[in-house]
């Protein structure tokens, strides 16, 4: 089960903020993290492997990449974790534990998780849950942000939040209203605007919607290839000896 963090760079960070962008509704986490990495010209920090992780390489701009990666920016004092696959439920607890180890080691001062939530009204709201009451107060002041009063949130973000609440560690979950279809650049744009407000870092999110088609193409490419690869795999198993293990 051993999940491992492989650090391949020597960043100069001082109590950075950690942004987490894992897949979810509308692929908001992955798209917005991907866009953030590109716009802020962040550098590769390393990658994450795990026995339960899918064995595959993503290919971006001709380069094969591990699908769960870490980036950093000395300038913005920022770290981003991005995953191009859904974290298997059995790996969530261990990955969360490993993230807290990273937080302690790197003296991360705050975790912000990006994600999507089913649209409730006009797709104009970013819902939020925070581990500490003082964070609620700050977040409520932000444009378009609404704190969730009653509910539940699953996966790595859920575990990070529950533990943050107990250990008085600041964790913020931002959930932009998102279409449930393939991916939703508008939701990604909304969540990045809120992130921009929190971090006081200017992120040109208008570009995201303008480039929506390119990004769509790019991400669609990844997901489609992944699906095709998966289908091919299935087919190969069907025409070969795979069913023996069925």
By the rule CB under 8 A, 244 interacts with a copy of itself: yes
Site for a copy of itself in 5-34 (CB under 8 A): 6, 8, 23-25, 27
Q: Please, what is the minimum distance in Å from the beta carbon of residue 202 to a copy of itself?
A: 27
Instruction: State how far the Cα of 16 lies from the Cα of 110, in Å rounded to an integer.
Output: 8
By the rule CB under 8 A, 73 interacts with a copy of itself: no
> Toward a copy of itself, which CB reaches closer, 76 or 102?
102
Which secondary structure element, helix H or strand E, spans residue 137, and what is its range? helix 133-140
> CA-CA distances (angstroms) from residue 122 to 115, 150, 179, 183, 232?
17, 21, 11, 17, 40
By the rule CB under 8 A, 207 interacts with a copy of itself: no
> Toward a copy of itself, which CB reaches closer, 76 or 110?
110
Residues in contact with 186: Cβ distance below 8 Å, sequence separation at least 6, in sequence order: 123, 178, 209
Q: How many CB atoms lie within 10 A of CB 101?
A: 11
Out of 147, 206, 209, 210, name the contact with a copy of itself by CB under 8 A.
147
> Toward a copy of itself, which CB reaches closer, 104 or 214?
214
Q: Please, what is the minimum distance in Å from the beta carbon of residue 195 to a copy of itself?
A: 19
Out of 10, 14, 62, 104, name the contact with a copy of itself by CB under 8 A.
62
By the rule CB under 8 A, 170 interacts with a copy of itself: no
By the rule CB under 8 A, 223 interacts with a copy of itself: yes
Site for a copy of itself in 76-105 (CB under 8 A): 84-86, 88-89, 92-93, 96
Q: DSSP character for 87?
A: P
With CA atoms as reference, report the closest residue to 189 among 200, 201, 198, 178: 178
Q: DSSP character for 86?
A: P
Q: What are phi and psi of 169, to 5 degrees?
A: -105, 135
By the rule CB under 8 A, 39 interacts with a copy of itself: no
Instruction: State how far the Cα of 122 lies from the Cα of 236, in Å rounded to an integer.
Output: 45
Instruction: State how far the Cα of 170 lies from the Cα of 132, in Å rounded to an integer.
Output: 6
> Toward a copy of itself, which CB reaches closer, 56 or 207?
56
Coil, helix or strand at residue 155: helix
By the rule CB under 8 A, 169 interacts with a copy of itself: no
Q: Please, what is the minimum distance in Å from the beta carbon of residue 201 to a copy of itself?
A: 25
> Toward a copy of itself, which CB reaches closer, 79 or 139?
139
With CA atoms as reference, report the closest residue to 129 among 89, 167, 162: 162
């Amino acid at each position: 089960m051993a999940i491992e963090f492989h650090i391949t760079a020597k960043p100069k960070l001082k109590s950075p903020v950690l942004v987490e962008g894992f897949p979810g509704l509308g692929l908001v986490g992955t798209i917005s993290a991907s866009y953030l990495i590109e716009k802020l010209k962040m550098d590769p920090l390393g990658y994450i492997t795990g026995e339960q992780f899918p064995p595959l390489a993503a290919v971006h701009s001709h380069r094969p990449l591990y699908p769960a990666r870490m980036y950093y920016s000395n300038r913005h004092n920022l770290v981003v974790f991005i995953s191009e696959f859904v974290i298997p439920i059995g790996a969530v607890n261990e990955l969360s534990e490993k993230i807290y180890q990273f937080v302690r080691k790197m003296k991360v001062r705050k975790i912000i998780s990006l994600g999507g939530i089913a649209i409730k009204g006009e797709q104009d709201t970013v819902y939020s849950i925070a581990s500490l009451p003082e964070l609620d107060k700050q977040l409520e002041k932000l444009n378009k942000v609404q704190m969730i009063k009653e509910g539940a949130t699953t996966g790595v973000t859920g575990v990070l939040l529950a533990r943050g609440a107990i250990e008085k560690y600041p964790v913020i979950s931002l959930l932009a209203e998102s279409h449930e279809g393939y991916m939703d650049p508008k939701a990604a744009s909304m969540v990045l605007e809120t992130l921009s407000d929190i971090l006081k870092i200017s992120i040109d999110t208008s570009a995201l919607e303008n480039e929506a088609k390119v990004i769509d193409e790019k991400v669609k490419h990844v997901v489609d290839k992944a699906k095709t690869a998966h289908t091919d795999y299935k087919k190969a198993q069907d025409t070969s000896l795979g069913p023996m293990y069925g």
